Chains A and B, each alone.
Chain A
Amino acid sequence: MIRFEKVTKSYAGPDKPALNQVTINVDKGEFVFLVGASGSGKSTALRLLLREMRPTTGRVYVAGKEINRLATWKVPRLRRQIGTVFQDFRLLQNKNVSENVAFALQVIGRSGRDIKRTVPETLELVGLSGKATRMPEELSGGEQQRVAIARAMVNHPMILIADEPTGNLDPATSVGIMKLLDRINATGTTVLMATHDHGVVDQMRKRVIELDHGRVVRDEATGVYGFQH
């Protein structure tokens, strides 16, 4: 589903490359944690997947397609297959919960009937059925992140990318969000989650890929955050 093949990404300047000869292979339906300190290259990897930029050398594949060769006008189509969730939720404050989720469908040209049917289903999936008309500011952090997840999932993407989704949440709320991501993964969606959060990684016992200074230093099928001793 996702494949990095000897990917190197250097930014302008004298610094070492953000990613250095990284090779990663994620199968369909996997749940993968991408861990490592700040500046280890996690965000760079996620941005390469979304074709926010291209690798300096090497290849990135999504669903068998080499996306660094993708024509610019085809990039939106790629992004429709990938849902994205961030630490800061990125909700539109002037739209309510339902409108925030519907927005993702409106802007890719889905019909009104389609949207009316899909949005409530998705809100139910994330456990926000009763809060469709609430404004983001009326919600807790965990609820806001659920809205963001609903927005990412409403178009049924094959891949869900989560960049520090629990970074702004307390441990108890984080557990709820992780359970939700696990449930989404169980329906066949590939989940790739970059995180600093030891607790959630250790608790989930999923595959862990650790990056350090742009290199893969560990790839374990059922890992924890730090090295196992």
Chain B
Amino acid sequence: MQLRHVSTNLRQGLRRNASMHLAVILTLFVSLSLAGIGLMMSKQADLTVDVIGSELQIQVVLCLPDDPQNASCTSEVTEEQKSAIATAIDDNPEVADFAFESKAESLEKLKALLGPEQFEGPDPVFTVEDAPQAVRITLKDPNDFDGTVDAVANLDGVSYITLAKDEVKPIFTLIDVLQYSSWGAAAALLLASILLVANTIRLTALARRKEIEIMRLVGASRIFIALPFLLEALVTALIGVALAVGAVAAFTQFALIGGLSEVVRALPFIGWAEWAETSLVLVVVAPILTVVPTLLLTRKYLRL
């Protein structure tokens, strides 16, 4: 009986404010989709950093035999040269941290950048012998790199130096713009959906005030009075989430997997694993966003 009472109330409530609920669902859908895309973008940024280095990094590529990038390299960098390079880097105040990268590690990164096809088969284009050793230097400040470059550039065993800052900047700028604009829009729309939830509750509380008054008088528990409101909030949240999860899936499929990653082959792109993580976040966050204001407002309007 109790269950039936609650479910009848829920159905009535959803029907009574159908247009308000639709508005809540649609704003939730759009805002959560944008938030989801923002989240995907930050995962994309993390992945890009992992593979091509953050903008704080300098990559010092070391000599290979017959180095195609630097004619003065005649042989593979020696251990003495490497320790001289390490000392020069270590002594530099601009450097936060540095690490040597072996030929094998370097090959893995090349694979990630270029795709595995050129590394496979009986006669691959690239082998571990073609991968240069390198030093990855993390700077304290991405704008203070002159001293480090000067100190290392002319040492024996150094082939060339790349500043990740220059390579990565436009990519990160793009990702940042996408991420922050989708988060900004999501925040504005989430605020709108919270206000819509608040208005819906106010309307429902007004429409049911006589009923609620009687429920309080005859001693219905607070949770029993608030339950239809909470369930309404939960149902709208779940529909909104379902739509948003679908939208982010469409984004993953059409913009990333079948879109950008086909065009921009030099960069790795996130995929379904990240979509799943993002969806999980949305599924947890959305009900909180509607249920918490409902709890606060039912206290206010229902004088619980």
Contacts and interface: CB of A to CB of B under 8 A. Distances in A.
Best-surrounded residue of B4, B211, B214 (most CB of chain A within 10 A): B214
Interface stretch (B126-134, B143-151, B218-226, B246-254): B218-226
Contacts of A92: 210-211, 214
Given A106-B5, A107-B5, A109-B2, A78 B219 contact: yes
Given A106-B1, A107-B5, A79 B219 contact: yes
Contacts, number: 60
A110 B218 contact: no
B1 A115 contact: yes
Interface residues of B, number: 18
Contact of A77 (B213, B219, B224): B219
Contacts of B213: 90
Interface of B is mostly: helix
A98 to B, nearest CB: 14
A61 interface: no
Given A90-B210, A92-B210, A109-B224, A84 B2 contact: no
Contact of B217 (A72, A79, A81, A109): A79
B96 to A, nearest CB: 55
A67 to B, nearest CB: 13
B117 to A, nearest CB: 66
Nearest to B5: A106
A155 interface: yes
Contact of B218 (A73, A108, A111, A112): A108
A112 B1 contact: yes
Interface in A50-106: 50, 72-73, 76-81, 84, 90, 92, 103-104, 106
Contacts of A72: 222
Interface residues of A, number: 25
Contacts of A104: 214, 218
Contacts of A103: 211, 214, 218
Interface string A21-42: 0000000000000000000000
A146 interface: no
A3 interface: no
A79 B1 contact: no
A9 interface: no
B260 interface: no
Residue of B1, B2, B213, B217 with most partner-chain A CB within 10 A: B217
A110 B221 CA distance: 12
Given A103-B218, A108-B218, A152-B218, 19 more contacts: A76-B219, A76-B221, A77-B219, A78-B219, A79-B217, A80-B219, A81-B219, A84-B218, A104-B218, A106-B5, A107-B5, A107-B214, A107-B220, A107-B224, A107-B225, A108-B221, A108-B224, A110-B1, A151-B214
Interface of B: 1-2, 4-5, 210-211, 213-222, 224-225
Interface of A: 50, 72-73, 76-81, 84, 90, 92, 103-104, 106-112, 115, 151-152, 155
11 contacts: A76-B216, A79-B217, A92-B210, A103-B218, A104-B218, A107-B220, A108-B221, A109-B224, A111-B1, A112-B1, A115-B1
